[in-house]
Amino acid sequence: MPKVELDGLLEAAEAALPELLPLRRELHRNPEIGLELPDTQARIAAALRDLGLEPRLGKALSSVVAVIEPGAEGGGARAATTILRADMDALPLQEETGLDFASERAGAMHACGHDLHMTMLLLGARLLVERRISLPGPVILMFQPGEEGFAGAKLMLDEGLLDGLDPAATRALALHIWSSLPSGEIHLRAGTQMASADSYRIRLRGRGGHASKPQLAIDPIPAAAEIVTALQVALSREVDIFDPAVVTITQIHAGTTHNIIPETALLEGTLRTLSNERRDSTLELIQRVAGSIAAEHRLAFEFELDIAYPATINDPGGVKRVANLASELVGPERVVEMSAPFMSGEDWSYVIQHAPGAMVFLGARPAAANLASVPDDHVPDNHSNRVIFDEPAMAAGAALYAAFALAP
C-alpha cells in the first residue's frame, strides 16, 4: 500500500484520543452484561450519529452496525468490504480498582476491556470518516453484545451481518486489549490464536437421606469429588501435550444443610482445545470418566453441553497484512509473533469462519504508578476485578483499525 496512507495516522489517533476518554470512562461506569445492553447501545448509536453515520440496531440483541461508504474516489468493481468489531458486554464482577470512574452498577464491571474496544473502534471510525475518499471499499462497524458466553457474534450473523458479501472480497479484524502485555505492543499469530470454549454440566442423581445413615442413601457428593480428580488424571494420560486440552470444574452445587445427604449434585465446568479433533475426543473422555464413576456409585448421570465457541483460527494472509501495517504504525520492534495460542475463547471465531480475517492482541499494561495497592511484580489480568488498562494504548488500536480498512 502507498505509505502516504499511514503517514500521520497514529499521530492523528493520539491527538483525538483525549476527546474520547470521557466516553470510555462513561462506558466503564455503566457496564451491562449479556445480550441486552440498552444503555450501551444507545450511547454507541449516538456517537455514530455524531460522526454522520446511520446506526442499525439489532433485533434479538442490543447490537449496533454502521457502514462507512467510500468517497467518490474510493471503491471499485471488486472493492473489498472490511469488517471491524468491538464487543460491548461486561462481566459479573464487583469492581475493586479504586478508579475514580469505577463501575457504578453493583456486580458488573468492564473487566475484559470491552469499554476500551468500543472507544477504539469509534476513534478508528472517526479517522476513517475523515479519510473516506481514500477507502478502497465499504467498512462495516460491528458493535457486538454477548461475547462473554452468549455467542453474540453468532446471533449477529443469524441476523444477516454478512448477507450478500463475497467472502473472497471481505476482510475482518478484531482487536482485543490485554493488561498483561506491554502497552502499545501488537501480539499476533497465524493459525489458531485462541481455543475453542465449551461449557458443560454434569448432573448426578442418587437417593437422599439422613447424614447419620449413609448406608440407606445413595450419596452423590463422594462421586462428585471423585469426578473432579479423575478427570485431571485421565486428561494427563490420554491427551497429547502437543494438541492440548484444558478441563476445569468451576462449580459444584449439592446439599442444603449439615445433616442431610442430598439427592442430587451438579458440576459445571469448561473445556478448552485448539483443534476440532481434540475437542471431540475430550468431550467423549469427560462423559466416559464421569459416567463410569456415577455408575460405580449407583447414580443416574446426565451430561449437558452448553455454549460452544469454535477455535479462533486466523487467516495467514490477514495476519501478515496486520503485521505489516502494525510495523509501519508502531515500529517492527513492537509487533510480536506469539509462540503459542491463548487457551481463552472468543466468539469472533464465528465471523472468521465466513470472512477471512484475524484477531490480534493489543497490550495495555499500566505503569506500576497507576495501580492502587498492587505490588509492582503483579499486574491483575483480564477478568480480574482489579484489572486496570493503560488508556493511551487505545491510539495504536484505533490507528490499526483505520489502517486495515484503508489499505487496498
Q: Which residues are catalytic?
A: 309, 391
40 neighbors 30 (Cβ within 8 angstroms): yes
306 neighbors 198 (Cβ within 8 angstroms): yes
Closest residue by Cα to residue 141 from 150, 133, 127 = 127
Helix residue ranges, H only, 186-275:
220-238
CA distance 167 to 162: 9
216 neighbors 236 (Cβ within 8 angstroms): no
For residue 194, list its beta bridge partners. 312, 342
287 alpha carbon, distance to own chain's centre: 27
Residue 255 region by backbone torsions, left for phi larger than 0, else alpha for psi between -120 and 50, else beta: left
The SS3 call for residue 3 is helix
CA distance 77 to 80: 9
301 neighbors 203 (Cβ within 8 angstroms): yes
Helix/strand/coil (H/E/C) assignment for every residue in 343-357: CCCCCHHHHHCCCCE
Residues ≥6 apart with Cβ < 8 Å to 292: none
Measuring CA to CA, how many Å separate 211 from each of 138, 214, 217?
67, 6, 9
CA distance 261 to 97: 41
Question: Strands 245-254 and 312-314: what pairing?
Answer: unpaired
183 neighbors 393 (Cβ within 8 angstroms): yes
Classify residue 24 by burial, with Cβ atoms within 10 Å: 0-12, 13-18, 19+: buried
Radius of gyration of the chain (CA): 23
**Whose grid coordinates read 449407583?**
298
